[in-house]
């Protein structure tokens, strides 16, 4: 055993030496490969462990240069670079330029500059008169830096004094001390000082001080008060221009609604009547002036307010009918501190058409594709209304062996009209920079599974869409009506319906009538570099709840109620989807998701409509199991010898996913994932034993693991995931945990699963 351990150590040592030599292969005489840096903090007195960790991470982020990227301690990209060729052609050149990364060389001047940057950061954090030293260590042709930060006492704020100036500007600033970011007892921090100046400038901009600037404020720090404390005094610079001390109001508001660079704005303004106090220049009458006046927050005579300026710009942009929006303020020569506001709006292309083609292949021998055509009119009634028409068609064919196949056809037509206002018997007020919208929808879908059944679905809705902010959106369909009509049911499928009451009920001809509310939070709407990002989507779907109560519907007592000789569905359905993205670097992300949903049918229904039930398995779900075939519970709908598994609906769904994503090279990404979850029924289903949700539901959770490769081509991400079941809930208890490599599931999809 001892001999074996020695041999292993010798082997791994030789491998490490081989990689080390390969990494420095391209270095010239006198050059050293930069192998990274280590930050050491020595403090007296000692600082808290959490503070030490945060400070160390902050300093480490400032160190430059960054060493060559590595995985498991091996610099693979550098190895590719050294293995390639610098010649301008051939496979060697492609390897070096595409897969490789040139060596990061050590430079003492660069390292010493980093030392100065670290020293400056400590000064900015209140560690005055402390020092950062630089040491270097060599190992072969590699150089590693060591920065040692010697910390003493961190200076803290003893007192904060706001400007004593008796003028109007000082009177405005002094009350802002109540909410100051500079707090007694807190450490001195230059970033906080800068943020405080910006905060005061923002408040002044909301009170009419158009020409004021954060640079007009000075914070004096007195570190001579003793006991490692600092007194801070906020001062208005004497060099502040007279304009910066004056309050300004809005004079004229002139809007050029059809502006281009060649427009003669002076000529266009002549003899234009005012609309609600605004001068809206639109010779071609492209836009209803009402929609522009609703978007503008500024009004003639108002005090200048930066918040109103930003709100107006954002509301004009989110109307979706202007390609460019800009504003200019000019001071008038009346000597009365008046600003005229000029808005220049360049219209976007009014009409557009988009074609989308997709193809799919599944591990259950299903292949197909879809074509959709989307036509848009961005100014349908000249009031910034968005009207869209989408036509789509798809075909999927699944081969199930013995020369048999199942063909599925889909056709759809969808109309949407978005009005940039709320049409309702009540007033809807919002301070958001996004215009609330009324949405009217009308659609039809034809679904034909040739060997089983055909579904004709008609839908219409009337509702509202509004945003609190860029990341928060609400959707309320106040009125929603769906009509589902199955037809052309095959004798074999009808036999299944005759023996499965639940399935028969879910596929019957029916109305779905009721409101739907959806809330969405997504912190990644705007690109950012935050370590943590979140996504949440919550949905509440109600159908015929009030109607069922008023009509006394109770299908269990034989009191099934109908509208136009068609039963209506009565249910409550709720669903929530929470995701967290932990960013270790630009391309390395740990993405996790927890999603759950429940639907409860009552009164006029004994089961949820088929289109409203939950399914498990598939490319964006539990990827080690075939699409919509998992569950419910411990039930299994097929056998290992057939590729076909009928869709399995359920009333309850629980699912958790985790996926680590990272970059391999160029546009190629890689991921490892684990998925777990299942669906269940709320009621006993005799045709699907084991499907009902019970206290033992955890024993029926399916688990799959896998890996996937992705091509991230900027506007398109192609994904290929290979999933392997490791827990199959339909197996006998005690045999459910396994590594079932016989049932690999390959999923091809577009976009990330979550």
Q: Where are the domains of the chain?
A: 2-151, 156-245, 249-347
Q: What is the CATH number of domain 156-245?
A: 3.10.20.310
Which two tokens mark 389?
């028409």
Question: Mean pLDDT, to the nearest integer, of 93-117?
Answer: 90
- The pLDDT of residue 77 is 85
Q: What is the reported pTM?
A: 0.80
Contact between residue 186 and residue 157 where contact means Cβ atoms under 8 Å apart? yes
How high is the pLDDT of residue 11?
39
Q: Are 415 and 443 in contact (CB under 8 A)?
A: yes
Q: Is the pLDDT assigned to residue 262 strictly greater than 90?
A: no
pLDDT digits (tens, 9 = 90+) for 186-200: 999 999 999 999 999
| The two three-digit tokens of residue 439, written as one number | 């949405």
C-alpha distances out from residue 632 to 253, 268, 614, 677, Å = 63, 68, 10, 10
Asked whether residue 645 carries a pLDDT value surpassing 80, the answer given is no
Task: Please answer whether residues 482 and 434 qualify as being in contact, where contact means their C-beta atoms are separated by less than 8 angstroms.
Answer: no
- How far apart (Å, rounded) are the C-alpha atoms in residues 493 and 451? 8
Q: Beta strand 156-161 with 229-236: parallel, antiparallel or unpaired?
A: parallel
**Which tokens hold the place of 216?**
């007009």
Contacts of 723 (CB under 8 A, 6+ apart): 622, 623, 624, 625, 673, 675, 704, 705, 706, 744, 745, 746, 747
* DSSP label of 28: P
Q: What is the DSSP string of 74-116?
A: B-HHHHHHHHS--SSSSHHHHIIIII-----B--HHHHHHHHH
Predicted pLDDT at 461: 97
pLDDT in tens, 432-446: 788 899 999 999 999
Burial zone of 334 (CB within 10 Å; 0-12 exposed, 13-18 middle, 19+ buried)? exposed
Q: Is the pLDDT of residue 220 over 80?
A: yes
Determine what percent of the chain is predicted with pLDDT higher than 90.
64
Say whether 249-347 and 156-245 share the same fold: yes
Give the whole-angstrom CA distance, residue 467 versus residue 455: 35
Q: Which is the CATH superfamily of the domain at 249-347?
A: membrane protein fhac (3.10.20.310)
Confidence of residue 97 (pLDDT cuts 50, 70, 90): confident
Tokens of 506: 């879910």
| Per-residue model confidence (pLDDT) at position 9 | 43
More confident residue, 685 or 474: 474
For 290-306, what is the mean pLDDT?
93
Q: Edge-to-edge, what's the strand order for the sheet holding 33-43?
A: 33-43, 142-151, 131-139
Mean pLDDT of 536-552: 95
Q: What pLDDT is attached to residue 134?
A: 96
Mean pLDDT for 42-60 is 91
* 199's tokens: 């905060």
pLDDT of res. 751? 87
**pLDDT value, residue 491:** 81
What is the predicted pLDDT for the residue at 355?
Answer: 92
As a whole number of angstroms, the distance between CA 682 and CA 598 comes to 9
Q: Binning pLDDT at 50, 70 and 90, where does residue 509 land?
A: confident
Q: Is the pLDDT at 593 greater than 90, yes or no? A: yes
Mean pLDDT of the chain: 88
Q: What is the mean pLDDT of residues 521-537?
A: 92
Q: Supply the Cα-derived Rg of the chain in whole angstroms.
A: 33
Q: What is the pLDDT of residue 3?
A: 46
417, 390 contact by CB (below 8 A): no
Question: d(Cα 714, Cα 669) in Å, to the nearest integer?
Answer: 12
Q: Annotate 136-195 with DSSP letters as a single string.
A: EEEETTEEEEEEEEEE-PPPEEEEEE-----SHHHHHHGGGGGG-S--TTSBP-HHHHHH
Which phi and psi (to 5°) does residue 591 adopt?
-105, 130
Residues 290-325, buried b or exposed e (16+ Cβ, 10 A)?
ebbbbbbbbebeeebbbebbebbbbbbbbbbbbeeb
What's phi and psi for 291, nearest 5 deg? Answer: -70, -35
pLDDT > 70: what percent of the chain? 92
If one counts every other C-beta atom within 10 angstroms of the C-beta of residue 552, the result is 11
Q: What is the pLDDT of residue 730?
A: 93
Residue 225 structure tokens: 């008060």
Residues in the chain: 754
Task: Tell me if the bond preceding 65 is cis, omega within 30° of 0.
Answer: yes
User: Both tokens of residue 578?
Assistant: 């929470």
Question: How would residue 715 be classed by pLDDT, with cut points 50, 70 and 90?
Answer: confident
pLDDT at position 76: 84
Least confident of 464-468, 496-500, 626-630: 496-500
Residues 164-203, buried b or exposed e (16+ Cβ, 10 A)?
eeeeebbebbbeeeeebbbeeeeebbeebbeebbeebbeb
Backbone angles phi, psi at 638, to 5 degrees: -145, -155
């Amino acid at each position: 055993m001892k001999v074996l351990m020695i041999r292993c150590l010798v082997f791994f040592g030789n491998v490490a030496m081989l990689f080390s030599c390969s990494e420095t292969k391209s270095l010239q005489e006198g050059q050293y490969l930069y192998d990274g840096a280590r930050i050491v903090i020595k403090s007296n007195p000692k600082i808290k462990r959490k503070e030490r960790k945060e400070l160390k991470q902050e300093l480490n982020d400032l160190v430059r240069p960054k060493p060559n990227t590595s995985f498991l301690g091996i610099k693979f990209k550098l190895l590719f670079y050294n293995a390639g060729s610098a010649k301008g052609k051939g496979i060697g050149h492609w390897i070096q330029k595409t897969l490789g990364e040139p060596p990061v060389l050590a430079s003492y001047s660069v390292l010493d500059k980093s030392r100065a940057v670290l020293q400056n950061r400590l000064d900015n954090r209140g560690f005055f008169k402390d020092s950062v030293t630089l040491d270097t260590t060599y190992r072969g042709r590699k150089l590693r830096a060591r920065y040692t930060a010697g910390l003493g006492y961190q200076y803290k704020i003893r007192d904060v004094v706001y400007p004593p100036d008796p003028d109007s500007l000082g009177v405005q600033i002094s009350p802002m001390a109540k909410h100051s970011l500079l707090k007694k007892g807190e450490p001195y921090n230059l970033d906080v000082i800068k943020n405080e100046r910006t905060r005061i400038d923002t408040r002044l901009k909301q009170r009419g001080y158009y020409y004021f600037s954060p640079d007009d404020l000075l914070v004096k720090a007195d570190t001579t008060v003793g006991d490692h404390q600092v007194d801070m005094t906020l001062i208005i610079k004497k060099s502040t221009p007279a304009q910066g001390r004056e309050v300004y109001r809005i004079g004229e508001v002139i809007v050029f609604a059809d502006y281009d660079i060649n427009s003669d704005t002076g000529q266009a303004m002549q003899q234009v009547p005012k609309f609600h106090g605004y001068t809206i220049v639109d010779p071609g009458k492209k836009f209803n002036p009402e929609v522009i006046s609703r978007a503008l927050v500024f009004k003639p005579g108002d005090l200048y307010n930066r918040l109103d300026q930003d709100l107006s710009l954002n509301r004009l942009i989110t109307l979706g009918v202007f390609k460019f929006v800009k504003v200019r303020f000019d001071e008038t020569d009346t000597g009365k501190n008046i600003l005229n506001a000029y808005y220049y709006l360049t219209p976007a292309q009014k009409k557009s058409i988009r074609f989308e083609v997709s193809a799919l292949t599944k591990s259950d021998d299903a292949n197909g594709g879809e074509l959709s055509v989307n036509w848009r009119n961005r100014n349908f009634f000249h009031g910034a209304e968005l009207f869209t028409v989408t036509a789509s068609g798809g075909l999927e064919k699944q081969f199930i062996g013995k020369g048999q196949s199942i063909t599925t056809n889909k056709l759809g037509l969808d109309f949407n009209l978005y009005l940039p206002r709320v049409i309702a018997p009540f007033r809807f007020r919002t301070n958001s920079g996004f215009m609330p919208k009324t949405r009217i929808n009308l659609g039809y879908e034809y679904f034909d599974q040739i060997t089983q059944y055909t579904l004709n679905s008609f839908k219409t809705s009337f509702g509202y869409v509004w945003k609190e902010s860029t990341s928060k959106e609400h959707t309320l369909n106040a009125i929603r009506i769906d009509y589902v009509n199955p037809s052309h049911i095959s004798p074999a499928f009808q036999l299944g319906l005759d023996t499965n009451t639940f399935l028969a009920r879910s596929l019957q001809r029916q109305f779905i009538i009721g409101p739907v509310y959806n809330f969405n939070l997504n912190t990644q709407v705007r690109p950012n570099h935050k370590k943590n990002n979140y996504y949440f989507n919550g949905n509440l779907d109600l159908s015929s709840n009030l109607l069922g109560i008023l009509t006394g519907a109770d299908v269990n007592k034989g009191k099934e109620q109908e509208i136009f000789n068609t039963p209506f569905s009565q249910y409550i359905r709720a669903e929530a989807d929470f995701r967290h993205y932990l960013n270790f670097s630009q391309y390395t992300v740990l993405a996790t998701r927890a999603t759950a949903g429940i639907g409860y049918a009552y009164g006029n229904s004994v089961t949820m409509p088929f289109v409203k039930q939950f399914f498990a398995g598939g490319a964006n779900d539990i990827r080690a199991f075939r699409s919509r075939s998992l569950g419910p519970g411990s039930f299994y709908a097929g056998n290992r010898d057939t590729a076909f598994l009928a869709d399995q609906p359920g009333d309850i769904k629980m699912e958790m996913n985790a996926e680590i994503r990272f970059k391999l090279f160029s546009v190629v990404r890689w991921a490892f994932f684990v998925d777990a979850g299942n669906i269940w029924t709320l009621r006993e289903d005799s045709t699907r034993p084991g499907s009902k949700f019970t206290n033992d539901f955890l024993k029926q959770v399916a688990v799959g693991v896998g890996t996937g490769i992705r091509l991230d081509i900027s506007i398109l991400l192609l994904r290929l995931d290979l999933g392997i079941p490791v827990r199959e809930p339909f197996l006998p208890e005690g045999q459910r945990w396994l590594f079932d490599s016989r049932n690999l599931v390959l999923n091809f999809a577009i976009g990330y699963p979550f």
